[in-house]
Structure formats: C-alpha cells, structure tokens
Amino acid sequence: MDLREKITIGVCSPGVWHAMFATSMIDIARSQSQLGQLISLEGSGVISRLRNQVVATFLEKTTDDWLLQIDTDQIITIDHFKKLIAAADKDERPIVSGIVHAAWDTANLYPEPVPCVFKVGEENGLYAMHEYPEDSIVEIDAAGTGCLLVHRRVFEEMRDKADQVHEGDKWCWYRDMPLNQSWVGEDIFWSIRVKALGFKMYAHTGVQLPHKRTYWLKQEHHKDYSRYVSARHQSAQQEIEIANKVGYGDIQHTSDSNNNSAGNSKS
C-alpha cells in the first residue's frame, strides 16, 4: 500500500464496545498516520443493513482510499494493522482479510473454532481453511467481515453494476439470502459478488485477531477439565519413571494443582 493512502475504519455495534477493542483502536489512532475517518454505526437486528450503511457513508462522506471493517468484539494490534496495510495493494491485492475464528456449535462439549477464511472445494462449496502457512499472504475465495481491508474501487464497481431498481446505490453490497438451499450470510454473499466481478481476495495469516466469545460453564466442563489434569499428571509421572530407569537419578515432580486454590482462581 502506498503510505500516502488513507484508511477509514468502519464499525458496526449494538452500542457497546469491548474495552480491549477500544484500547486497540486508541493505540492505532495514536501511532498510525494513515488513519483517516472513523465510521461507527449503532443498531441491532439485520447486520447487513448496518454494513451497507457503513460502505455508503464511506463512499459519500470521505475521500479515503481504503475501508477497514472490524467488529468490536475483537482486538487488533498495531502489528496486525501494519501487516494488513503492507499486504494490501489497490491493483494486486485490493481485498485483504485477517484471521478471525468463529465458534461453531457442535455436538461436543466445546464449540469448534473455525477460521473465517474459505476456499472453494467439492461441488463448488466453500470450506474453512483449517490449515495454512504461518505469517503468510494466501489467496482465498471468501472471508468474514470481522477484519476486512477493502480498496474503494471495489465498492464503487459493485455500486456501478448493482440492480438499480431494488438495490440502488445504498443497499448494493451486503445481503442475507438463501442460496442453493442454504442460508448465506452477508459476508459470504459479498465475497461471492466481488469474486464474480473479477477481484481477488487474500488473507494475511499473521494477522490473528482474538475474538471475544461466551458460553455457559457447566458441570460437564469441570469433569472434562478434571480428566485433562489427571491425564497430564499421569503423563508427567511416566516421564519421571522412565528417566529414573535410564539412570538420570531421582527426579522430583511437583504438581501445580495445589496452586489452583480458591484464593488464586480466576473466573
């Protein structure tokens, strides 16, 4: 990215920002000269409506070159920001995503962490990329909007080629809808459209954003953790016995389980 280019940050929220997200925004604003405007829209319900309004505001009210869309339940560091802008190029890489993990419900005790970057696979379906090279720029076919840096010309071309009867120039970027008998969210729908227009999408795997998630902590979690601790201690004891047998002398192992007292516990 040309260091003279400016970046608008676009944020959708229900009206509340996580403290760590706000702190990361302040850190970037204080240190990065390429920041232009901040667009922060509040609302609830259909997120695609807010995302469309962010893009429309970006195109109508700013002259900045790039829009960085980021969700308020994440943390983006200065290093993340620098890697994104270093990877971005208005001609070669006009769309660059970070890696944000969603929590998909499963039949198991814990949700499955799924990276929200996708490649086309069997029968033209989109599949999450669970394996990728570390700290690298990789081409993708779709991404979530949790951390997405997009050049202005991408949004302008989408607007110019939109359905003017129904979408017009304000609702032509994001949409939730059924497709091939599956429900497609606004981020995947957007990805499909930009790929159809010939734009390439990339992800920087070194931009790993922590994602705030919550779940109900139950007895099953306690039992599962107890099994993990027991297995860990058994493994440690086996290592001690093997070491003693091969002549390393008496090796003592002190469990850290006693440190997990009520006074030291964290919720």
Q: Which residue has the tokens 């706000």?
A: 22
- What would the mean pLDDT of 63-75 be, rounded to a whole number? 96
Which residue ranges form the domains of the chain, and what is each CATH number? Answer: 7-209 (3.90.550.40), 219-259 (no CATH)
What confidence tier does 142 reach under pLDDT thresholds 50, 70, 90?
A: very high
Condensed to tens digits (0 to 9), the pLDDT of residues 189-226 reads 999 999 999 999 999 999 999 999 887 777 787 788 78
The confidence score (pLDDT) of residue 230 equals 82
Q: Which residue has the higher pLDDT, 143 or 245?
A: 143
Condensed to tens digits (0 to 9), the pLDDT of residues 74-128 reads 999 999 999 999 999 999 999 999 999 998 888 778 888 899 999 998 877 899 9
Distance CA 176, CA 153 (A): 23
- What would the mean pLDDT of 6-34 be, rounded to a whole number? 93
The confidence score (pLDDT) of residue 249 equals 52
Give whole-number Cα distances, 196 to 120, 142, 157, 191, in Å: 13, 12, 12, 9
CB-based contacts of 229, cutoff 8 Å, min separation 6 = 257
Instruction: For 214, list phi and psi in degrees, rounded to 5.
Output: -135, 150
Condensed to tens digits (0 to 9), the pLDDT of residues 162-188 reads 999 999 999 999 999 888 888 889 999
What confidence tier does 241 reach under pLDDT thresholds 50, 70, 90?
A: confident
Decide: helix, strand or coil at residue 134.
Answer: coil
Whether residue 64 contacts residue 2, with contact meaning beta carbons closer than 8 Å, is answered with no
The confidence score (pLDDT) of residue 264 equals 43
Decide: helix, strand or coil at residue 95.
Answer: strand
Q: Which two tokens stand for residue 173?
A: 């970027």
pLDDT at 251 over 60: no
pLDDT at 258 over 80: no
The confidence score (pLDDT) of residue 19 equals 93
